Amino acid sequence: MKEYQTITEISGPLVFAEVDEPVGYNEIVEIETPDGDTLRGQVLESSEGLVSIQVFEGTGGIDRNASVRFLGETMKMPVTEDLLGRVLDGSGNPIDGGPEIVPDERIDIVGEAINPYSREYPEEFIQTGVSAIDGMNTLVRGQKLPIFSGSGLPHNELALQIARQATVPEEEEEGDDDEEGSEFAVIFGAMGITQEEANEFMQDFERTGALERSVVFMNLADDPAVERTVTPRLALTTAEYLAFEKGYHVLVILTDITNYCEALREIGAAREEVPGRRGYPGYMYTDLAQLYERAGRIEGREGSVTQIPILTMPGDDDTHPIPDLTGYITEGQIVMDRDLNSQGIEPPINVLPSLSRLMDDGIGEGLTRGDHGDVSDQMYAAYAEGEDLRDLVNIVGREALSERDNKFLDFADRFESEFVQQGYETDRSIEETLELGWDLLSMLPKEALNRIDEDLIEVHYREEEAEAVQAD
Amino acid sequence: MSQAEDIESVDEDGVIESVSGPVVSATDLDARMNDVVYVGDEGLMGEVIEIEGNLTTIQVYEETSGVSPGEPVENTGEPLSVDLGPGMLDSIYDGVQRPLDELEEKMGSAFLDRGVDAPGIDPEKQWEFTPSVAEGEIVEPGDVIGKVPETASITHRVMVPPDYEGGKITSIEAGEFTVEEVVAELESGEEITMHQEWPVREARPAAEKETPTIPLVSGQRILDGLFPIAKGGTAAIPGPFGSGKTVTQHQLAKWADADIVVYVGCGERGNEMTEVIEDFPELEDPKTGKPLMSRTCLIANTSNMPVAARESCIYTGITIAEYYRDMGYDVALMADSTSRWAEAMREISSRLEEMPGEEGYPAYLAAALSEFYERAGLFQNINGTQGSVSVIGAVSPPGGDFSEPVTQNTLRIVKTFWALDADLAERRHFPSINWNESYSLYRQQLDPWFRENVAEDWPERRQWAVDVLDEEDELQEIVQLVGKDALPEDQQLTLEIARYLREAWLQQNAFHDVDTYCDPKKTYRMLGAIKTFNDEAFEALEAGVPVEEVQDVDAAPRLNRMGVAEEWNEFIDELESDLEEQIRALY
C-alpha cells in the first residue's frame, strides 16, 4: 500500500492528488490529516498520474501535506447475522458501545444487478394493518413502495406503524414449521435526519422490542453530506446478505431520499459536471435505480428484500425531479396529503395519487380474498367521483345535486373519516378492511357498483345499510 | 454479440489512460469508430465512441469499479453486432444480446457479474434444416434457401446474407445442423450458414418502403376503435409514472396480431421483466393457440444494469426485428421506455463533456430518435417478400410534461399518439388513454380494411362516438359551473350516453380473462349496443318521456357488463332487444 503526500487541490468535498502508479476507479482511500485524524474517501475519477477523491467526512482539516493511502479495493461492508440489534453510523461503524463486529463476509457495497431471469415475481401479500395500504395499494414481498411526503407530515409514524405491524397472514396460520427460514428483519437507513427524528425511531424500536431484529444505520443532519451516498448502499448490502444468504424477509426503510439526492447534487457541483434538471446530476435516475432495484425476490432463495423509501417532496410538488425519478423506478407510491393531515386523518394517505403496481398479482382468491380487486376498484372510482363533486358543491350547494350525487359525496366523506382514518396504533386485518369497504359501498345504490362482479354484490352487499341510507 | 472467437490472436493494442464511470479513455489503441473492445484485465465489453489524436474514448457496457489506468484494452476490429439465426425467439437477452439464462448458469449466481460473455445464439444446438432451393439454382442476396422450425408457431427462413454476392448453388442438403455449420455453398465460394451477423447501428437493406394499409389489431377497444396503428406504423405512448405505459405495452405484446414480437425493456424495472418472463410462456396466442413466448424475443436492460448497454439495447432490438421482417413476417417492436434510452445518451454525452442541447440532452437527440423510428415501416424486401416492422415506443416525460425534448422530438416523427392521462389513472380508468388528446394519422388509410373485414359503417360509427365524447367534453365545462340538473334534458342524456362510452366501451380491464382481449367485431358490436340505447332513448325523449325514466331502464346498466361477456354476440343481441323493448314501453 503506497502513501502519497501529493495533494494538489482541495475543493468542497473533493481532493485531487498526484499518483505514480495506477489507482482503480471507485477504490477506497484513507487520508491522514496533520492532526492525526483519518478520513475516508472514494476515487471518483482515475487517470494516469492524477486522481480525484470524494471524502465522506468532509475535507475539513486536510492540507497539502496530508497523506493519502489507497487501499486497493472498493468499499466493502462487513456482514454477519450478529448485526441484528446493532446501531451503526453512516459509514458502518458501531456507535452503540457494543462489541466489535466480527464479519462472516465482506461484500462490495455497490452491489450487482439481479439478473431479471433469476428473479421471482413478487406476489406474496404483506398485511400492514393499514386499510388505505392493504385495501387500496397492497404491498407485496419484494416490492419497492416509497412514501411521498412533505415536510411536517407524519411519514415517520406511518413507516413505524408498517414496520411494527407488517405480517404475512398465511404463515401465521401455518404455525412454526418453517419458522427458521422466514424470520423478519428491519433495516433502517437514516440519511440526514435530525437527532430528534432519530430518537423517535430509536425509542419506538426499543419500546416494541423491534431493535433485536433490526440493523440501524444513522447518518444525521449534522453528519457529512457525502457520507449519505454510502449509507443506503451499506444498508442494502446488509439487507441482501440477510435476505439471500440467511433467508430473512427484510424490510428496508430509507429516510430521507431527498437528503440523499441533495448530497448527489453537492458532489456533482463540486466536480463541475453539466447539471440536469434543477441542478441535479444527469445520472440521478441511474443512481437512484441502483438503490431501488436492490429489492425483490430470487428464485430458489428463501428471503426477500422489501423497500419503503421515504422522501419529502420539496414544495409538495410531485413533478420535482426527486419524486418524479423515484416514481418511474419504484413499483408505485403512497402519497401523504396535507389537507387530510390538517383534518386530523391518521394516517393522512391520499389514495387517489397513490398506487401499488404489484397489487393485482398479490391479491384475490387464495392470497387475500376474491372480492379484493373489485372492491378496491369500486372504492377508487366512487371516491374519485365524490371528490369531483366536492368542487361542484362549493359553487352550487348540496341541494342542487341529485340524490345519486349526494350519496357519492357522503361516501367520500365516510371513506376518509372511517376507512382511511384509523390511528397509528390500530392494526386492521385484511378481512376487517374489506368488510369496512363493503359497509361503505353499501351506501351506494347497487346499480352504481359497476366495477364489481354481480355474484360478489349478491354475497356482500348489505341491504340494511342501503335502506338506512334511504331512510335518512 | 459473441466474444471474438480466438481472443489470443488479437493484439493487446491499447492502454487505459483514465476511468470515469462508464467512460474510459485509452491511448495507443488502433480502432475505428463503433468498434467493440475489451477493456481491462477482466475484459469488460465496450464500444469506441470518440477518437481524438492518440486518445480513444470507450463506453463500457459493464460496471467499471476497480478498473485502473495502465490496464490493457483489446480491439476486436468489429462493430457492435448481433448474432442472427434460429433460437432468438423464446429467449431473453440483455442490452448487448447476451442470453440472461446462459449468464445465470455461467456466473452461477442470481447477480450479474462482470466480464462474462455468452453467444447470442447457441452454437451447439442442432436445427432441422430443409432446403427450399435446389443445387444449380441461382440465388441472390436476401433469398430464402431453406426452412427451420424455430418454435411451435414460427418457421425460421434461412436467407443468403444481404452482403453476399450470391450466385449458383453448388451444394445444399437437408439435415440436422448447428448454426455454425455450412448448409449451402455457392459457386462464388461463399458459404452459407444459418447464422448471420449484422452491425446494430446500421439498418438492414430493403427494396422499397410502402404505405401501410392493414391495421395492427391489438384487441384493445380504444386503440382499434379510435386510434389504430398500421402494420409497419409507429406510435408513441407518453405518460407520467403510474399512468399505465407498461401495462399498455404488455397488452400490445400479448395481443397484437403480429407474427413476431420483440419486447425491449430499456432502463425499466426488473420485476416487470420477470412478470413477462413468467406470464408469456403460459399465455396463448389468440391467433395460433400456441404459447405467446414462442413468437417473442425479450431484451431486458433494467434500470440498474450498466447505462451504456441501455443505449445499445434499442438498436439490438430493432436489428432483430428487421431480420424477421426480411423473412416476410410482420414484426412489432415495443420499446419501454425510449426516455431511458435518451437519458443514457445524455449521461454518456455529459461524461464526454459535449456541448449540451435542450435540457442537457445531446444535440443529436432528434437525429437519433428519427433514425430509430425510420427503421419501422412496411417493406418490400430484397428477396421479394413483404414484411413490416411496427414500432411502439413508450415515453416517460419528467413530471408528465409533454413539452420536454424527448416527447416533442418523438411526436414529430410518429404517426400515432396515445396520450396517457394521470387524472384518468387516478380514478382507475384504464387504459388511461386520453381520447381528446390522442390521435392516429392512419385512420384514413386503414378505413377500407375495417370496412371490408369488420363492418361497412365502421368509420361512421366511430365518428359518432368521437362526436358524443367531444360534446361531453364541452358540456362538462358547463356542468362544472351549474351542475348537471340545470342542463336541458337532451344534453343530460348525451352526458349519460358519453358515460357509457367511457365506462363500458373505452375502459377495458387488462386483468380480466375475457375483457383483456376484445375482437374488433366485438368492439364494433359493443359500440352498436350503446348507439341503440342512444337512438331509442332520444326517440323516447322526443315522445315526452322524462330523462330520468329513460336513463333508469333496467337493461341499461347491463351495458357495463358487455366487456366481460364471453358469449358476447348472444349477450349483446339480448341486451339490444331488451333496451328497445323497455324504452318503447315507456311511451
DSSP string, A95-119: -SS-PPP--SEEEESS-PPBPTTTE
Give residue B4's pLDDT: 40
Residue B317 marked in a binding site: no
Cell, residue A266? 453537492
Of B92-101, B214-223, B351-360, B423-432, give the lowest mean pLDDT range: B351-360
Instruction: Identify the CA nearest to A333 among candidates A365, A351, A356.
Output: A356
Given a contact cutoff of 8 angstroms between Cβ atoms, the answer to whether B505 and B225 are in contact is yes
Between CA A369 and CA A371 the distance in angstroms is 6
Q: Tell which A residues from 405 to 464 touch B, by Cβ distance under 8 Å.
A: 405, 447, 450-451, 454
Write out chain A residues lying below 8 Å of B429, CB-based. 381
A124 touches chain B (CB under 8 A): no
Residue B393 marked in a binding site: no
Alpha helix stretches (DSSP H) within A241-371:
257-270, 284-292, 321-329, 338-342, 359-362
Alpha helix stretches (DSSP H) within B62-193:
100-107
Give residue B3's pLDDT: 43
Annotated domain spans of chain A = 2-73, 77-361, 372-471
Between CA A116 and CA A296 the distance in angstroms is 10
Whether A2-73 shares its CATH topology with A372-471 is answered no
Residue B432 marked in a binding site: no
Q: Tell which A residues from 84 to 103 touch B, by Cβ distance under 8 Å.
A: none
Query: pLDDT band at residue B518, thresholds of 50, 70 and 90?
Result: very high
Query: pLDDT band at residue B267, thresholds of 50, 70 and 90?
Result: confident
| Whether pLDDT at B20 is above 90 | no
Whether A27 and B271 lie within 8 Å, measured CB to CB:
no
Write out chain B residues lying below 8 Å of A392, CB-based. 479-480, 483
Give residue A174's pLDDT: 46
Alpha helix stretches (DSSP H) within A293-401:
321-329, 338-342, 359-362, 372-396
The model's pLDDT over B547-587, given as tens digits with 9 standing for 90+, comes to 989 998 999 999 999 999 999 999 999 999 999 999 999 98
What is the average pLDDT across A302-316? 93
What is the average pLDDT across B422-439? 90
Residue B430 marked in a binding site: no
Fold of the A372-471 domain: 1.10.1140
Instruction: Identify the CA nearest to B240 among candidates B115, B379, B395.
Output: B395
Instruction: Identify the CA nearest to A232 among candidates A185, A264, A275.
Output: A264
Distances (CA, A) of B331 to B111, B227, B255, B322, B519: 32, 19, 13, 8, 20
| Neighbour-count burial for B285-317, b at 16+ CB within 10 Å, e otherwise | beeeeebbbbbbbbbbbbbbbbbbbbbbbbbbb
| Whether pLDDT at B330 is above 90 | yes
Residue B239 marked in a binding site: yes
Test the A interface: residue of B64, B71, B303, B423 with most A CBs within 10 Å: B303
Cell, residue B522? 366485438
| Whether pLDDT at A344 is above 90 | yes
What is the average pLDDT across B378-401? 93
Write out chain A residues lying below 8 Å of B65, CB-based. 24-26, 74, 108, 110
Give residue A184's pLDDT: 87
A221 touches chain B (CB under 8 A): no
The model's pLDDT over B274-312, given as tens digits with 9 standing for 90+, comes to 888 888 888 888 777 888 889 999 999 988 888 888 889
Give residue B513's pLDDT: 87
Whether B399 and A116 lie within 8 Å, measured CB to CB:
no
Q: Between A and B, how many residue pairs show a Cβ–Cβ distance under 8 A? A: 222
| Whether pLDDT at B401 is above 80 | yes
Query: Which is it for strands B234-238 and B386-395: parallel, antiparallel or unpaired?
Result: parallel
pTM across the whole model: 0.90
Distances (CA, A) of B496 to A390, A443, B226, B476, B540: 20, 22, 20, 12, 15
Give residue B11's pLDDT: 52
Name the 3-class secondary structure at B263.
Answer: strand
Residue B243 marked in a binding site: yes
A467 Cα to chain B: minimum distance (Å): 19
Give residue B193's pLDDT: 93
Instruction: Identify the CA nearest to B9 among candidates B67, B96, B74, B99.
Output: B74
Whether B20 and A45 lie within 8 Å, measured CB to CB:
yes
Q: Kindly state the DSSP code that residue A335 receives in the 8-state scheme.
A: E
Whether B65 and A26 lie within 8 Å, measured CB to CB:
yes
Given a contact cutoff of 8 angstroms between Cβ atoms, the answer to whether A288 and A140 are in contact is no
Give residue B12's pLDDT: 54
Share of chain A above pLDDT 70, in %: 96
The model's pLDDT over B522-550, given as tens digits with 9 standing for 90+, comes to 999 999 999 999 999 999 999 999 998 99
What mean pLDDT value characterizes chain A? 89
Q: How many CB atoms lie within 10 A of CB A391?
A: 9
What is the average pLDDT across A156-184? 70
| Whether pLDDT at B5 is above 70 | no
| Whether pLDDT at B8 is above 50 | no
Query: pLDDT band at residue A470, thresholds of 50, 70 and 90?
Result: low
Query: pLDDT band at residue A237, thresholds of 50, 70 and 90?
Result: very high
Query: pLDDT band at residue B346, thresholds of 50, 70 and 90?
Result: confident
Give residue A179's pLDDT: 44
The model's pLDDT over A29-84, given as tens digits with 9 standing for 90+, comes to 999 988 888 888 889 888 888 999 988 888 888 888 899 999 888 889 999 999 99
Q: How many CB atoms lie within 10 A of CB A426?
A: 14
Write out chain B residues lying below 8 Å of A350, CB-based. none
Give residue B262's pLDDT: 95
| Whether pLDDT at A422 is above 90 | yes
Give residue A171's pLDDT: 52
Give residue B83's pLDDT: 92
Beta-carbon contacts of A325 under 8 Å, excluding residues fewer than 6 positions away, are A284, A285, A288, B398
| Whether pLDDT at A96 is above 70 | yes
Between CA B88 and CA B156 the distance in angstroms is 10
Fold of the A77-361 domain: Rossmann fold (3.40.50)
CATH class of A2-73: mainly beta
| Neighbour-count burial for B370-397, b at 16+ CB within 10 Å, e otherwise | eebbebbbbbebbbebbbbbbbbbbbbb
The model's pLDDT over B77-94, given as tens digits with 9 standing for 90+, comes to 888 899 999 999 999 999
Of B216-230, B343-357, B446-460, give the lowest mean pLDDT range: B343-357
Given a contact cutoff of 8 angstroms between Cβ atoms, the answer to whether A128 and A134 are in contact is yes
Q: Kindly state the DSSP code that residue A419 receives in the 8-state scheme.
A: I
Distances (CA, A) of B149 to A151, B135, B152, B396: 61, 22, 7, 38
The model's pLDDT over A314-332, given as tens digits with 9 standing for 90+, comes to 999 988 999 999 998 999 9
Rounded to the nearest angstrom, the gap between the alpha carbon of residue A379 and the centroid of all alpha carbons in its chain is 25
